[in-house]
Amino acid sequence: MRRWNGWGDDTHQAELADFAKALIADLIGDTHPLIDATLAEAVERVPESRTADHPLLDTTPETRIRYAAGQSFPDWLQMRSGIFKEIPDAVAFPETTQQLRELMDWAAGKDYLLVPYGGGTSVAGHLACPTCEKPRITVALTRMNRLLDFDKESQIATFGAGVRGPDLEAQLAAIGYTLGHFPQSFELSTAGGWVVTRSSGQQSLRYGRIEQLFAGGTLETPKGTLKIRSMPASSAGPDLREMVLGSEGTLGILSEVKLRVTPLAETEQFYTVFMPDWESGVAAVQAMTQGRIPLSMMRLSNATETDISLKLAVPEKKLSKLNMLFKLKGLTDKKCMLTFGLTGSKSQSRANRRQAKAILRQHGAKRVFSKMLGEKWREGRFKGPYLRHPLWEHGIGVDTFETAMDWSALRPYINVIEQKVMNALKQQGIPVFAFTHLSHVYPQGSSAYTTYLFPVASTYAETLQRWKIIKKVASETVVAHGGTISHQHGVGRDHAPYLPAEKGELGMSALEALSKNFDPDHRMNPGVLIEAKNTTEPA
């Protein structure tokens, strides 16, 4: 069953090996975990529902708890403590577009607020609504999960917006196709959620980000139904798809999505190579991307993440032998791990591998090409979030932030971001440990994804304050270097204070006008993307 207070299925139990615990102790020092609430304790705190009866609504306390939050760090603290700032009054489970339309009209008549819920994987505060005073209905779309139509000639598949990644891919694989969209949240997140948060999959280098894959669909809004036809291209005014992409539930709720799919590849492999240092790794990645080498993914870990990843992925005896090989090849502790994917026909993969090898060697890559480590990455590509549980039980808070910027801005940013984060709690004498990788690359620039760990405090409230300080430092550093406040996680409430720096005053007023056009009573997911823009720090 899905965990009520954390990530994923409760049958998957990630554990920290003894050497991992020792490694964390070296980095963070002594830690002391907080006490978690039980589900029964959380349920006891659920207030009475304020909604009227409706056949689509579930108002039972446990259901409302299970759909009360996402996976942001403040959400995590609410779930683990069992104390929620705000709990939905009801959860709706529509199964068809018609049911969703009727629900929205009924909710408008009752003056209720509506918050769409896909997979509950938001890490940016999309789902909680601590400032909402009116009754709120969380609209769970997971029963709208079928392949509704497939245009084979045009390679357009139409799905219910609540379809989760594995179910989407299984239905496509049965007819020989794939979407190829694999965010780390793939197992739980939904197609509609990918669209409204402008998601990026791990193999977007081949398949494209969701904005390249989203061909159209149906958006149910308070003003009516917006149908967006699929077209290969159009010069007939602004693209309506762009209004929906990144709208984060503020305009309406997606009921159906049309997606551009691709025939399944004949072959796929992942390899890992080691670069002498970060600069050579960045230069190689930049050269391969700007040279349009058709790889399916590239991920470059900095030296710190490389060291941690090897220690966690490779058994101690094998790692000792691998370190001897590194030494023979002249690789020092500055080495950086670069993982890349080859996807396509066998002949294409061979040709692409030769091109990649040539560029990598030009930039100093040592001949330590490892298919084993590449396959290790494939096996664990969706398991990272599960580590939050054993780390928490060990007294460690962990979170991430990500951005994207031009290559010219990326180098100065990388030089300072980890130091800024690791010094965020220095005045309090609290250690923070951080490491970074490039996970999505473009000819123009790249994303940068940073993970950080810190010891939890003696109370939940103080732990939240520690997170707020780190989050503020990280976000201000991103903005100061000209980066986007989010490359793949969306804005939500956590990032909303920093959105005006990217969009500008006129841009923000345009977003407000767009929201008002579709949602004049401000009923849809209030506080996300727009309203929180005047706050001074993330909630």
Determine the pLDDT at residue 188. 97
Cα separation, 137 vs 51, in Å, equals 8
Q: What is the pLDDT of residue 367?
A: 67
Sheet holding 336-344, edge to edge: 267-275, 336-344, 297-301, 433-438, 445-455, 396-406
The pLDDT score that the predictor gives to residue 320 is 86
Residue with token string 């932030």: 401
Q: What is the 3-state secondary structure (H, E, C) of 17-33?
A: CHHHHHHHHHHHCCCCC
Supply the pLDDT for residue 535: 39
156-184 exposure pattern, b = at least 16 Cβ within 10 A, e = fewer: bbbbbbbbbbebbbebbeeeebbbbbbbb
Q: What is the pLDDT of residue 368?
A: 63
Residue listed under structure tokens 């036809």: 229
Residue 29: phi and psi, rounded to 5, are 95, -165
Q: At what angle do helices 407-422 and 460-480 cross, to 10 degrees?
A: 150
Q: What CA–CA distance (Å, rounded) separates 230 from 158? A: 10
Residues whose CB is less than 8 angstroms from the CB of residue 426 and which lie 6 or more positions away in sequence, other chains included? none
How many angstroms separate the CA atoms of 242 and 219, rounded? 13
Question: What is the b/e burial string over 234-267, where b = at least 16 CB atoms within 10 angstroms of the residue's CB?
Answer: eeeeeebbebbbbbbbbbbbbbbbbbbbbeebee
Alpha helix ranges (H) inside 275-370: 278-290, 303-313, 316-328, 346-362
Could you list the beta-strand ranges (E) of 200-352: 214-221, 224-228, 253-260, 262-263, 267-275, 297-301, 336-344
Closest CA to 492 of 65, 69, 46: 69
> Can you give the pTM of this predicted structure?
0.95
Each residue's pLDDT, cut to its tens digit, for the chain (539 residues) gives 899 999 999 888 888 878 788 888 888 999 999 999 999 999 999 999 999 999 999 999 999 999 999 999 999 999 999 999 999 999 999 999 999 999 999 999 999 999 999 999 999 999 988 778 899 999 999 999 999 999 999 999 999 999 999 999 999 999 999 999 999 999 999 999 999 999 999 999 999 999 999 999 999 999 999 999 999 999 999 999 999 999 999 999 999 999 999 999 999 999 999 999 999 999 999 999 999 999 999 999 999 999 988 887 777 788 888 888 898 889 999 999 999 999 999 999 999 999 999 999 999 998 666 788 899 899 999 999 999 999 999 999 999 999 999 999 999 999 999 999 999 999 999 999 999 999 999 999 999 999 999 999 999 999 999 999 999 999 999 999 999 999 999 999 999 999 999 999 999 999 999 999 999 999 999 989 986 444 334 44
> How far is Cα of residue 249 from the mean position of the Cα atoms in its chain?
16
